[in-house]
Chain A
Amino acid sequence: MSRPPTSDLASTAGARGGEQALSTAAASDPAIATAARIAAEYRDLPGALLPILHAIQAELGCIPPATVQTVAETLNLSRAEVHGVITFYPHFRSAPAGRHVVEICRAESCQAMGGERLAEHARSRLSCDFHGTTADGGVTLEPVYCLGLCAQSPAVAVDGRAHARMTPEKLDRLLAQAQAA
């Protein structure tokens, strides 16, 4: 976002000002600096893009659009290619999630054990839909298609930790715990 507009249309790093432009951008935005450091660290890995995106998201909580160009230039890709990859994979997000992420499994096994009722409960309890975040920014609700706990359905994950044999009451307790933390 802080890049000079003149560089936006060009397709190669050289045409956009290359290393120098990168360092200018990095200086003005800490997220870009982080992305530049991570991209440089992994750039020689075969098929480096996914590991880079995972690392950026792990550190920044999302992959800010402003970092896309940095990643693209480091790997000698176009911004479109990097953007395409980020948007292809549901795990990657371009904006930060709420303080807590609740994932509810919506696949068949959980449906067989009342997963849809659980999903409805979560929606009404949080007053937000799937892929949405509560008004206070506290909880983001996401669907997930299988957590591999199908013998103990329904299953959810709160902040990446899985919980099985879920009931609406247990989910309320988990949410209360998360929100209190």
Chain B
Amino acid sequence: MNAPVTLYVPRDTAALAVGADAVAEAIGQQAASRGLPVRIVRNGSRGLLWLETLVEVATPQGRVAYGPVQPEDVPGLFEAGWLTGGEHALGHGLTEEIPYLKNQERLTFARVGVTDPLSLDDYREHGGLAGLQRALDMDAAGIVAEVTASGLRGRGGAAFPAGIKWKTVLDTPADQKYIVCNADEGDSGTYADRMLMEGDPYVLLEGMAIAGLAVGATYGYIYVRSEYPQAIAVLREAIERARQAGWLGQDMLGRGRRFDLEVRVGAGAYICGEETSLLESLEGKRGVVRAKPPLPAVAGLFGKPTVVNNVITLASVPVILARGAAHYRDFGVGRSQGTLPFQLAGNLRRGGLVEKAFGLTLRELLYDFGGGSASGRPLRAVQVGGPLGAYVPESQWDIPLDYEAYAKVSAMIGHGGLVAFDDTVDMTRMARFAMEFCAVESCGKCTPCRIGSTRGVEVIDRIRAGGADREKQVHLLRDLCDTMLSGSLCALGGMTPFPVLSALDHFPEDFGIQPTEAPARAA
């Protein structure tokens, strides 16, 4: 009876932002005053974000979930006997059996929410370092071949095959190469990077170390946005602990190989999520986009061959190495292999992270997982893939989520974030916001983006104002979008037209135009 009961109270920002610290404190106080020994582990988030703060109690049957817990609920939970899994209105039974979680395929997020993010013992006990161990037994080309065979594509949005990028870096001779992790997760509707960095930082470090072995890079940078102070703190602590434990640094796991890395902090510029702009920023400059070629894989950070990958891409590498390329590749459909952590956001009843193999539909995510709108009104539009992603209308919610199928309808899966809107949304306003956001965040290097976005706001304002020449203005807007699509240097100017044109094409009634006016757009 005297062995302390273990409780899990997340330390993820999503939990902290709804009072998790106060909940942990209340649990400690209540337990002390009742003379009940407890051990509180601050884990990552399970990703069932509508239930935060989600407290789990370790019982002999497994971990039992309670949520959303407020500090004032804590006495009642003790009275209900939650330390032995007692029933309570906030109880959800065994965490692993909650359908939202049970119906997922968690590969990259296997440990997130389960372990203490900074415990190296937890990490190893839950399969950590197996990938790096295996990579240390392989030659560089072998690791690259494994990643290529897994079908892993860049999870930051562009979906470029990771193995091909790595091969370019491997094949480019240089005295120094770098691994850069793009953790500048600025897209609205996305939080998978943040959850992973806060909930399982070691898997990212392991993925970067494997990438280093694969291409011959000995140093890495994680570029984290300044809006994520908790992720920055967790990563810095994790790096320090990994160094002390001897699996980062001059002699990785005693195998004589070298890899070290550090965290660099962004400064609020959305454009720095674009890889060349990120490299400029790392070099200490304005985050102005570089023209390509040369590719960063050939001449990247400080002019050296550089792998730039998103957090989720790199964090998916350890499981690929540990379980083999085939295991990962067998998830998914067509050329979209493996899993993607979808992020349900906006106006949804059950927002949260759903890691699933490619191939399910938006409707399944919105209703089976998301539970429909939070407001109770009908859902109308879903922006998929961040601020540069298309607004997808209900007629397209049954298209399987795979990169190619989405590209065919001028949409993109991107980073897997989806923001749902109910029927109160004014799509002219969302189209205007897309242009306005582009104007605010443009780096200013190329004209279509710098000037086009401002002109776009003006044109949409004229359309919103109505009047006789509305149709002429719509024509002008399409023309402007065409210029931005074809003439911009990077994805910011080049993809801002996607939300704008999708709003025009799929929701013409909001613009006061006839649906027939919308010409089919060339892909």
A residues lining the B interface (CB < 8 Å): 46-51, 53-54, 75, 81, 84-85, 88-92, 105, 107-113, 144-153, 155, 157, 160-165
Partner of A112 from B49, B264, B281, B420 at Cβ < 8 Å: B420
Closest 3 CB pairs of A and B: A151-B351, A49-B284, A107-B188
The answer to whether B374 and A160 have CB atoms under 8 Å apart is no
The answer to whether B14 and A112 have CB atoms under 8 Å apart is no
Q: A91-B267, A151-B348 are contacts. A146–B17 as well, Cβ < 8 Å?
A: no
Among A49, A53, A107, A161, the most chain B Cβ lie within 10 Å of the Cβ of: A107
Q: A47-B282, A112-B346, A152-B17 are contacts. A91–B226 as well, Cβ < 8 Å?
A: yes
B399 at the interface (CB under 8 A from A): no
Min C-beta distance of B279 to chain A, whole Å: 9
B302 at the interface (CB under 8 A from A): yes
The answer to whether B268 and A148 have CB atoms under 8 Å apart is no
| Chain B: interface residue total (CB-CB under 8 A) | 61
The answer to whether B191 and A108 have CB atoms under 8 Å apart is no
The distance in angstroms between the C-alpha atoms of A80 and B519, with both chains bound, is 47
Q: A108-B383, A151-B348 are contacts. A145–B17 as well, Cβ < 8 Å?
A: no
Q: A148-B13, A150-B188 are contacts. A50–B433 as well, Cβ < 8 Å?
A: no
The answer to whether B346 and A108 have CB atoms under 8 Å apart is yes
Closest to B283 in A: A47
Partner of A152 from B52, B383, B440 at Cβ < 8 Å: B52
Contact string against A for B residues 435-473, beta-carbon threshold 8 Å, 1 for contact and 0 otherwise: 001001101000000000000000000000000000000
B484 at the interface (CB under 8 A from A): no
In the complex, which residues of chain A have a beta carbon less than 8 angstroms from the beta carbon of B187? 146
Partner of B286 from A85, A155, A162 at Cβ < 8 Å: A85
Closest to A111 in B: B433
Q: A91-B226, A149-B191 are contacts. A48–B284 as well, Cβ < 8 Å?
A: yes
Partner of A150 from B266, B417, B441 at Cβ < 8 Å: B417
In the complex, which residues of chain B have a beta carbon less than 8 angstroms from the beta carbon of A112? 345-347, 419-422, 425
The answer to whether A144 and B287 have CB atoms under 8 Å apart is no
The distance in angstroms between the C-alpha atoms of A105 and B13, with both chains bound, is 15
Partner of B49 from A88, A105, A151 at Cβ < 8 Å: A151
Min C-beta distance of B48 to chain A, whole Å: 9
Min C-beta distance of B234 to chain A, whole Å: 13
The answer to whether A162 and B284 have CB atoms under 8 Å apart is no
The answer to whether A151 and B347 have CB atoms under 8 Å apart is no
The answer to whether B351 and A150 have CB atoms under 8 Å apart is yes
B residues 195-243 in Cβ contact with A at 8 Å: 226-229
In the complex, which residues of chain B have a beta carbon less than 8 angstroms from the beta carbon of A47? 264, 282-284, 302
The answer to whether A151 and B50 have CB atoms under 8 Å apart is yes
Contact string against A for B residues 271-315, beta-carbon threshold 8 Å, 1 for contact and 0 otherwise: 000000000011111111000000000000010000000000000
In the complex, which residues of chain A have a beta carbon less than 8 angstroms from the beta carbon of B16? 161-162
B338 at the interface (CB under 8 A from A): no
**Can you give 7 contacting A-B residue pairs, CB < 8 Å?**
A49-B285, A91-B267, A112-B425, A145-B437, A148-B194, A151-B49, A160-B229
In the complex, which residues of chain A have a beta carbon less than 8 angstroms from the beta carbon of B227? 144, 146-148, 157
The answer to whether B425 and A152 have CB atoms under 8 Å apart is no
The distance in angstroms between the C-alpha atoms of A46 and B281, with both chains bound, is 11
Among B193, B268, B441, the most chain A Cβ lie within 10 Å of the Cβ of: B268
Closest to B198 in A: A148
The answer to whether A91 and B387 have CB atoms under 8 Å apart is no
The distance in angstroms between the C-alpha atoms of A165 and B229, with both chains bound, is 19
Partner of A53 from B267, B282, B420 at Cβ < 8 Å: B267
The distance in angstroms between the C-alpha atoms of A113 and B344, with both chains bound, is 13
B189 at the interface (CB under 8 A from A): yes
Closest to A88 in B: B286
Min C-beta distance of B262 to chain A, whole Å: 9
Closest to A142 in B: B268
Min C-beta distance of A171 to chain B, whole Å: 13
Min C-beta distance of B294 to chain A, whole Å: 19
B326 at the interface (CB under 8 A from A): no
B430 at the interface (CB under 8 A from A): yes
Partner of A50 from B265, B288, B425 at Cβ < 8 Å: B265
B161 at the interface (CB under 8 A from A): no
Min C-beta distance of A10 to chain B, whole Å: 22
Closest to A87 in B: B286
In the complex, which residues of chain B have a beta carbon less than 8 angstroms from the beta carbon of A151? 14, 49-50, 191, 343-345, 348, 351-353
B186 at the interface (CB under 8 A from A): yes
Partner of B269 from A46, A89, A109, A155 at Cβ < 8 Å: A89
In the complex, which residues of chain B have a beta carbon less than 8 angstroms from the beta carbon of A89? 266-269, 286-287
The answer to whether B419 and A150 have CB atoms under 8 Å apart is yes
The distance in angstroms between the C-alpha atoms of A75 and B284, with both chains bound, is 10
In the complex, which residues of chain B have a beta carbon less than 8 angstroms from the beta carbon of A161? 16
B190 at the interface (CB under 8 A from A): yes
B270 at the interface (CB under 8 A from A): yes
The distance in angstroms between the C-alpha atoms of A31 and B189, with both chains bound, is 40
In the complex, which residues of chain B have a beta carbon less than 8 angstroms from the beta carbon of A91? 226, 266-269
Among A109, A110, A113, A151, the most chain B Cβ lie within 10 Å of the Cβ of: A151
Min C-beta distance of A120 to chain B, whole Å: 14
The answer to whether B419 and A165 have CB atoms under 8 Å apart is no
In the complex, which residues of chain A have a beta carbon less than 8 angstroms from the beta carbon of B505? none
The answer to whether B188 and A145 have CB atoms under 8 Å apart is yes
In the complex, which residues of chain B have a beta carbon less than 8 angstroms from the beta carbon of A109? 188-189, 345-346, 419
Partner of A110 from B185, B188, B287, B374 at Cβ < 8 Å: B188
B18 at the interface (CB under 8 A from A): yes
The distance in angstroms between the C-alpha atoms of A53 and B284, with both chains bound, is 10
The distance in angstroms between the C-alpha atoms of A18 and B52, with both chains bound, is 56
The answer to whether A107 and B374 have CB atoms under 8 Å apart is no
B residues 97-114 in Cβ contact with A at 8 Å: none
The distance in angstroms between the C-alpha atoms of A108 and B417, with both chains bound, is 11
